[in-house]
Homo-oligomer: A and B are copies of this chain.
Amino acid sequence: MTVDHAAPTRRERKKLATRQALEDAALRLFAAQGYEQTTVEEIAEAADVAVRTFFRYFSSKQDVLFGEVASDRLGRLHTELAARPLTEAPLDSVIAAMEKLDLVGTDEEQQILARLDLMRHQPTLRIRYLELINSMRQAIVEFVADRSDTDARRDMYALLVAAAAAASWETSLSLWAESGGALSLRELRRQAFASLTAGLPERP
Contacts and interface: CB of A to CB of B under 8 A. Distances in A.
Contacts of A89: 203
Contacts of A171: 156, 159-160, 163
Given A160-B195, A163-B192, A196-B196, 18 more contacts: A91-B203, A127-B131, A130-B131, A130-B134, A153-B174, A156-B171, A156-B195, A157-B200, A157-B201, A159-B174, A159-B192, A160-B167, A160-B192, A163-B163, A163-B171, A163-B196, A164-B200, A199-B199
A26 interface: no
Nearest to A150: B204
Interface string A175-204: 100110000000010011001111111011
A196 B157 contact: no
Nearest to A166: B167
A79 interface: no
Contacts of A5: none
Contacts of A195: 156, 160
B130 A191 contact: no
Q: Size range of the interface on A? A: 35 or more
A63 B148 CA distance: 39
Interface of A: 89-91, 126-127, 130-131, 134, 148, 153-154, 156-157, 159-161, 163-164, 166-167, 170-171, 174-175, 178-179, 188, 191-192, 195-201, 203-204
25 contacts: A89-B203, A127-B127, A127-B130, A127-B131, A153-B174, A153-B178, A154-B175, A154-B179, A156-B171, A156-B188, A156-B191, A157-B200, A157-B201, A157-B203, A159-B171, A159-B174, A159-B175, A160-B167, A161-B200, A163-B167, A164-B200, A166-B167, A196-B196, A198-B199, A199-B199
